[in-house]
A and B are shown apart, each in its own frame.
Chain A
Amino acid sequence: MNSLRKFIRQFEERVALRIMQLSFALIVLVLGAILFTVLSKGLPSVTWEIISQPPQGGYHFGGDGGILNAIVGSLALALGAALLAFLVSLPVALLMNIHLANRKKTLLGVRFVLDVLWGVPSIVYGAFAFTLMIYLGFRASLLAGIVTVTFLIIPIMLRAMDEALQGVPKALMEASTALGATKTQIAWTVYLRSAAPGLITAVMLAFGRGIGDAASVLFTAGYTDYIPTSLGQPVATLPLAIFFQLGSPVPEVRERAYAAAVVLTFLILIISLTSRRLSRVKS
């Protein structure tokens, strides 16, 4: 009897372990396949010309030039949106965790709404912003793109900041209150410093999401072969560069789509590494 039980337990243990190992292998395989496809198809096309020049005449039929317009555009768009989102998210996250810390029901509601907003597909943000643009008489432009991506990434940045601030021990609030600090002083010194690694991660996470999103900028940022010189001009982005070039009948142009994908993946890799590095320094 005992030996049967022992056998079953060991069997369970082994099966469970196998399932976990299989799942792990599956994930590694899929990730590897994605990276392999993008790199094998894209790397040969990543030349100095591609990353250092905007499209020249006839580029979209296989002519000279590169995707500098999309690289600069994506960076400008994501930086602008991350900055705007940061300016809004940080005060709200501090408000939630310091002044509303005891309003459990309010917080539950706010977090629920933010989680829903996080889950809303980005094309919906695009459609919403497009309506807003028409109403306000805006054209597709860098500014409109930045505002749309800001809407898209605020829930992400805010919730990630919220999680970081929730990790600050409550006793730290008590200790600093006892020293005679006001809530605002505690927020800007103790909470910001204590949660700094998480806050940096939040910004980087939102930045990464912003730079990689195609649907939200499809209607709002437009697309252009030129590097914009003002906020009012349309702007190209890497996700859309992939999208448009992949749909081309010309094989060389399709290869350049993979080159754009490589560049985008590389940018996101840099963002992750930077955020890890910064978080570690700050903690």
Chain B
Amino acid sequence: MESSIARTDAAVSVRNLVVRSGKTEILKSVSLDIPRNGITVLLGPSGCGKTTLLRSMNRLTDLDPSLSLSGQILIDEDDVLSKQGDITLIRQKMGLLLQKPQPLPMSIFENIAYGMRLKGIRDMVVLRRRVEKHLREVALWDEVKDRLNHSARMLSVGQQQRLCLARGLAINPEIILADEPTSALDPLSSRAIEELFKELKKDYTVVLVTHILRQAKRLADHVIFLYLGDVVEQGPAEEMFNNPKTERFKEYLTLGI
């Protein structure tokens, strides 16, 4: 039921995406739909192309000119890969969370305000209100409300990652892209991020790359399994984990490779 609604209303539709680095194909004609809201987990052994797929969605792949992309990635009718659109505006539909938190070299306040300022919000009253709102969304407000002007680098790694999540939310995205966001965190901070994702999936589409199978099982509503640049299997999480259809995915579930 859920999946049939999702199919007609995808947050991201990827069609025939090929990503090449020189002569090697990192992704070989991938087509998939990421349903709106909920958490979609990209799963697969290292080198399967899951991170590349994630980074293609906001064209962060531009930063590596050795990569060439073809195909279509549709988000709200806009083709991300089209050179005509303004990629910076499309990027602001997605918040990104990296493996290691990367706070900008400025204060806690300015970290959250940065994206809003890029969008042209100058009014300090609005900025203050929104900064508080987004810090509350990631349960960081009470921890930092008295030191908003302190450098964001003073925070613990776990706090930094929540700050980065809040920073992503501050650009009002529809989608949250997360690339192994807990791999640098301690178990407690990892749990905090996972709990946040469970909350956020009500309002946002979360696309999560992870290599931790247990994390995928805890969080996923929808799973896309990649192997050597191909989508091998995809579907609702429960169905996939309880009743894997392909040998590859069965093997991955039992051996983790």
Taking the closest CB of chain B, its distance from the CB of A199, in whole angstroms, is 12
Check A179 against B102 for contact (C-beta < 8 Å): no
B88 partner, pick from A174, A181, A190, beta carbons under 8 A: A181
Check A179 against B63 for contact (C-beta < 8 Å): no
Chain B positions 82 through 98: 1 when the CB is less than 8 Å from some CB of chain A, otherwise 0: 00000011011011101
Q: How far is the CA of A102 from the CA of B64 in the complex (A)?
A: 7
Known A185-B118, A190-B105; contact A178-B64, beta-carbon cutoff 8 A: no
Secondary structure dominating the interface of A: helix
Known A190-B104, A190-B105; contact A174-B60, beta-carbon cutoff 8 A: yes
Check B171 against A180 for contact (C-beta < 8 Å): yes
A residues within 8 A CB of B118? 179-181, 185
B residues within 8 A CB of A169? 102
A172 at the interface (CB under 8 A from B): yes
Residue pairs across A and B with CB atoms within 8 Å: the count is 68
- For B58, the closest partner residue in chain A by CB is A178
Check B106 against A193 for contact (C-beta < 8 Å): yes
Taking the closest CB of chain B, its distance from the CB of A114, in whole angstroms, is 23
Q: How far is the CA of A176 from the CA of B96 in the complex (A)?
A: 9
B residues within 8 A CB of A180? 88-89, 91-92, 115, 118-119, 171
Q: How far is the CA of A139 from the CA of B63 in the complex (A)?
A: 49
Check A177 against B60 for contact (C-beta < 8 Å): yes
Check A179 against B115 for contact (C-beta < 8 Å): yes
Check B96 against A175 for contact (C-beta < 8 Å): yes
Check B102 against A172 for contact (C-beta < 8 Å): yes
B164 at the interface (CB under 8 A from A): yes
Q: How far is the CA of A181 from the CA of B88 in the complex (A)?
A: 7
Taking the closest CB of chain A, its distance from the CB of B207, in whole angstroms, is 13
Taking the closest CB of chain A, its distance from the CB of B75, in whole angstroms, is 14
Chain A interfacial positions (CB closer than 8 Å to B): 102, 169, 171-182, 185, 189-190, 193-194, 196
Chain B interfacial positions (CB closer than 8 Å to A): 58, 60, 62-66, 88-89, 91-92, 94-96, 98, 100, 102, 104-106, 114-115, 118-119, 164, 167-168, 171, 177
